[in-house]
Structure 1
Amino acid sequence: MSGIAQNNTSNTRQLQQTGGLFQTGPGSSFLIHDGHFTQHNQAPTVHYCYDSDDPFKHLQAHVAPSAYASQQDGEAPKCHPNTRKAVLDEIMNWVILEATRIQWILWLNGAAGAGKSAIARSIVDLCTERDIVIAKFFFFRTDPTRNNLAHLVATLAYQLIQVIPGLDVIILPRIRSDPLIFNQSLETQFQVLIFDPLLELHKKFPFSRPLLLLFDGVDECDGHTSQTGFIRTISKFVELKSFPLLALFSSRAENQIKMEFRSTQIAKTTHPLPLDDHYLPDQDIRLFLTDSFFSVKETHPFNDLLDHNWPTPELVEEIVTKSSGQFIYASVVMKFISAPHLHPAQQLNIIRGLRPSGTLTPFAELDALYRHIFSQVRDIARTTLILVYFILGNATLRRCAEVLDISQADIHIALADLTSVVSVSSTKNGEIRFLHASLPDFLLDRARSQEFYIDRAYWSTQLSIGFFDKVASRQVIDYFYILGHLPHAECTPDLRARILSFNPSQMRDTYSTSTWSSYLTDIQNMNFGDGGEVYHQQLNVVTRYVKKRNPDQLWSLEEKHDIAVILAQIESEAVEKSKRKTRERKSAFGMMIRSLLK
């Protein structure tokens, strides 16, 4: 056998796809129509491994059809036409490599919503078009048949039987001889039902082309230990290089998965492929948006209500920027705008926050993703505090650690569970980067983030109080930190007391007069219900400070604040002080003269 045929021999049993229902195992069946699967939950059918006379039916009972079948509801589609060409070409070049192969494993990784699953589904199509045997398993966290490893090997074996002639007569007798094989470890199942049968067939009829095992959404498999153990097991067999068996893993770059692919044994045969800016995602997202808006203008029932120049290039670019290189945001936006019963331009205004959403939920899909990610965070209190600091202020790691009285290592640890949406710089004065520009919007919206909501007013108040406390205790702290929080703080008695006790002379560093002017403006705009007492007290304190330290910069204060009375008072105090000193000198001189005359 010079190659691997895509059509099975006649004695191979196949699932009857007649448009009716077929049983797939406990609790579900699938309606097949035009090659698409729709799941129907029903009373579970009990399957006992020990009384299965037919090994093929026994295999079927352990298969998860939705893990390899057509795109299911709520899942990512294939790549939009003419997008992701560079990354698809790189993966396919790796698959069909003619030269001596060094890397037998490929790890496609990226942020949440980067489009990994869409790329994986497109790879399936490209392999099928080129007659490359591919068996796939798409993990999905909300589907109990494919959010764990229980059905993995059976699903792979079933697919391989369908496309490789002669493989069934090797695999099925093994199932018949050991009906409890699916209760064995993943490693045992894989060796008995996948690796050894393929090796046996390869020895008889050498494979001339690679066989590809594709695993998408590894991070959606329950449990970190299951994820890393699964990667290790599959890699162990692939690395034997006994025949052209390749493995493509697709996942977020979560720390436990990252560590596994960095291990010495796996790293030397792995080709890591991160979905970063190297592949110019903004260009692909822009093309997707352009095509999608064109379709809306051509087909939407309300297209005659749209301006001919809608949307403007600036609006498209706004969505591209907000997408941050991740396709999910652009996809969610276009799905919302394309709703056939609503006005597309009005829908876009809702997205942009220019029109109330009412009962509509424009970001429901994205919000569900964010909430799941945050539900996995172990120390949500500390993580929230750190995110508050970066979202509400222009922070660096050093400044954040200083203000929160924690180490920079603590910041890295707290954010370790958010690597799919947040990137932390490794430099001392670096920053954290939100891989999704829409994440802060989500966290600052109570309706969207729910239990993970960041109340800007509350946290701005707490951070402002913390600033004044640190200044009072003479701790080194950057003054600019306060400017981002006071405008949003609540006028509480605690904050009022802290402001009244503040004096710029407590600061170790010197700041420009314009900075103090901005500070006073923030105080002026706050309403403590005291008739402006706080503002006037601080205006007096700051003016006196600037008069003493930078008298030639008083004009900067005068531009926005009325300090004439305070300056006059300072001058009057200076005159009175001068007179007092003159009287004191005369008195002292008089006492000296009287002393000499005695």
Structure 2
Amino acid sequence: MLRLDGDRPVRLQTQGPGNIVHIEGDRPVQFQNSTFNNVAGNMNVSHTTNVGESGFGILYRAVSLDAMHDSAERPADPACHPGTRSAILYQLGKWSFEQPSDCPILWLHGCAGIGKSAIGQQFAASCHDRGQLGGSFFFKRGSVSCGTWRNLLPTLAYQLTVAFPQLGPRIQRAVETDRLILGKTIHHQLEKLLVQPFRNAPPLAFSASRPILVIDGLDECEDRGTQTALIRALIDVLRSGDAPIHILVCSRSEAHLSEAFKAPENSDVCRDLQVLPDDRALADIRRYFTDEFSRIRRIHNSRGMLLEDCWPGSKTIEDLVKKSSGTFIYASTVLRYVDDEYSHPAERLDAVLGLDPGSLSPLDDLYTQILSSIPSKPILLRVLHAVVKVYFGAEQIDSVLRMRQGTSRAVLRGLHAVVRVHPAPILPVGHHKPVELLHASFGDFLMDPQRSLSFCISGEDLLDTLVHDMAHVLLSGSLEPNDFG
């Protein structure tokens, strides 16, 4: 409960940037830079300052840095390998210079692991280099900051104010006019933060360089209803032509997304481009394997592991290209698995080549091989379940599962091909960056008992154990309620 200077108790509910308090039966009240005293579970607001915070400041606090294409928090290798994807990147570049009225929304879609995010990343970087990128947002399933639409529009609007200064004052004014805007609907935010600033800008301000927005991983945003609502809102606000922008949306070829983007009534606003596992994709993957194996050979030779100049050989590369079925996720996972600092790459590659050559699910076989290399299976499953279900850092997972500190890091170190574990914070009270799955397909694999078999983490027993452990830690006071997201 929250008490306002000793007055009646109210129910605390935050919205938008996290400083809007709703009083049941009354209007919202905003507290900024306030001092809160917590006595026996009751909170008292004793002081508030800076009520006139700038619109730019409100946007800044709602920005998801992790979601931007050039964020240091994004994986190190999401962009296209040099010399690959040239044909599809050419098509995207050509579309970006078309008149905004000619299908301003382009839906880039394809199967899981085909390389959509890498293409979106490369395209965003290219647009940025030529001064055309208005903003980017890469959704990530389960992420607190990148898994919901609520951070999307503030993040894009903030980037637009930086990339196109002529929009800055107009966007800032829109926020200051309605300080609760970040808690309102998708359509309302789009209209106020994107459309109106363009509508009020000088007529020729964007004649030479039209802003491009890149939204990747739409299928990883919350739920299907939210995804569809976002598409409809984008279509509605761009149909008027008041905002001279292009928006690239990348996602899997999900049925509900296809229905929205490809609806006949939306053909004046939307166009689609499918990424296919065709011969051109296979050629790109062949080049990727060749270049990366050369790099691995050079690095490991410098460490005293002598690999022949012809290693691993053209036949081996062709076998791997065939197994990839045109998906980059298979190739990148193989290369990360082979390129292990503490293992011999030839032995790792032999393990991959020893998997069933006739399998119809080579990526699942690879995931199983990687998981099988971890010695303690029961602990592995508990840690992976916590990674997928709770967005925590390794040290927090140890606390929740009541394990010796360092256990999660020891288990996850052998999974560097499929997960990303950030360094531990320097201070005990430092920010714990969550363990991340490098690709959503690994999470799909772990949750599907028909695919992951004994490594499946969707069982009720694991869920019951996790809930029990979380409740125990919460009651003990070692973690705060907000830590559970």
- TM > 0.5 fold call: yes
- Preserved contact between residue 367 and residue 449 of structure 1 (Cα < 8 Å): no
1:281 is the counterpart of 2:281: yes
1:120 aligned residue: 120
Aligned-pair CA distance for 1:374: 5.9
- Preserved contact between residue 66 and residue 74 of structure 2 (Cα < 8 Å): no
SS at match of 2:348: helix
1:191-590 alignment, distance < 5 Å: 191-203=191-203, 205=205, 207-278=207-278, 280-300=280-300, 301-302=302-303, 304-353=305-354, 357=373, 359=375, 360-361=414-415, 364=418, 369-370=440-441, 372-373=443-444, 443=451, 446-449=453-456
SS at match of 2:342: coil
1:171 is the counterpart of 2:139: no
Instruction: State how far apart, in whole Å, the 1-side matches of 2:101 and 2:181 are.
Output: 33
Name the amino acid aligned to 1:275: V
Aligned-pair CA distance for 1:271: 2.0
SS at match of 2:165: coil
SS at match of 1:146: coil
Name the amino acid aligned to 2:155: T
Query: Structure 1's 141 and 333: CA in aligned 2 closer, same or farther, altered over 3 A?
Result: same
Aligned-pair CA distance for 1:203: 3.2
- Preserved contact between residue 333 and residue 362 of structure 1 (Cα < 8 Å): no
Aligned-pair CA distance for 1:175: 1.6
1:81 aligned residue: 82
Aligned-pair CA distance for 1:253: 0.6
Instruction: State how far apart, in whole Å, the 1-side matches of 2:247 and 2:415 are.
Output: 39
Per-residue CA deviations over 1:43-69 (Å, capped at 9, x if unaligned) read x9x9x9994533221121111111114
Per-residue CA deviations over 1:344-384 (Å, capped at 9, x if unaligned) read 1001012223798464558645897445336888xx8xxx5
Name the amino acid aligned to 1:138: F
SS at match of 1:113: coil
Per-residue CA deviations over 1:506-552 (Å, capped at 9, x if unaligned) read xxxxxxxxxxxxxxxxxxxxxxxxxxxxxxxxxxxxxxxxxxxxxxx
Instruction: State how far apart, in whole Å, the 2-side matches of 1:84 and 1:76 are.
Output: 15
- Preserved contact between residue 217 and residue 250 of structure 2 (Cα < 8 Å): yes
Query: Structure 1's 75 and 145: CA in aligned 2 closer, same or farther, altered over 3 A?
Result: farther
SS at match of 2:287: helix
1:71-110 alignment, distance < 5 Å: 72-74=73-75, 77-97=78-98, 102-110=102-110
2:11 aligned residue: none
Instruction: State how far apart, in whole Å, the 2-side matches of 1:243 and 1:361 are.
Output: 45
Instruction: State how far apart, in whole Å, the 1-side matches of 2:440 and 2:170 are.
Output: 42
Name the amino acid aligned to 1:262: K
1:522 aligned residue: none
Identity of aligned pairs, percent? 28
Aligned-pair CA distance for 1:312: 1.7
Instruction: State how far apart, in whole Å, the 2-side matches of 1:227 and 1:108 are.
Output: 15
- Preserved contact between residue 235 and residue 247 of structure 1 (Cα < 8 Å): no
SS at match of 1:61: helix
Relative CO higher for 1 or 2, CA cutoff 8 Å, sep ≥ 6? 2
1:4-83 alignment, distance < 5 Å: 51-68=51-68, 69-70=70-71, 72-74=73-75, 77-83=78-84
Name the amino acid aligned to 2:240: L
Query: What is the aligned residue count?
Result: 346
CA RMSD of aligned residues (A): 3.2
TM score, norm. by length of structure 2: 0.65
2:133 aligned residue: 133
TM score, norm. by length of structure 1: 0.53
Aligned-pair CA distance for 1:239: 2.1
Per-residue CA deviations over 1:459-490 (Å, capped at 9, x if unaligned) read xxxxxxxxxxxxxxxxxxxxxxxxxxxxxxxx
SS at match of 1:250: strand
1:411 aligned residue: none
Aligned-pair CA distance for 1:149: 1.1
Query: Structure 1's 263 and 50: CA in aligned 2 closer, same or farther, altered over 3 A?
Result: farther
Q: Which moved more, 1:272-281 or 1:139-148?
A: 272-281
SS at match of 1:166: helix
Query: Structure 1's 202 and 228: CA in aligned 2 closer, same or farther, altered over 3 A?
Result: farther
Per-residue CA deviations over 1:176-224 (Å, capped at 9, x if unaligned) read 2221111111111111111101111143745333221111000010010
Q: Which moved more, 1:54-63 or 1:364-373?
A: 364-373
2:154 aligned residue: 154
Where do 5+ consecutive residues of structure 2 fail to align? 1-15, 20-35, 37-44, 356-368, 376-413, 420-436, 460-485
SS at match of 1:207: coil
1:408 aligned residue: none
Instruction: State how far apart, in whole Å, the 2-side matches of 1:75 and 1:224 are.
Output: 29
Where do 5+ consecutive residues of structure 1 fail to align? 1-23, 28-43, 385-442, 453-598
Query: Structure 1's 110 and 142: CA in aligned 2 closer, same or farther, altered over 3 A?
Result: same
Aligned-pair CA distance for 1:167: 1.8
- Preserved contact between residue 337 and residue 345 of structure 1 (Cα < 8 Å): yes
SS at match of 2:94: helix
- Preserved contact between residue 135 and residue 160 of structure 2 (Cα < 8 Å): yes
- Preserved contact between residue 105 and residue 247 of structure 2 (Cα < 8 Å): yes
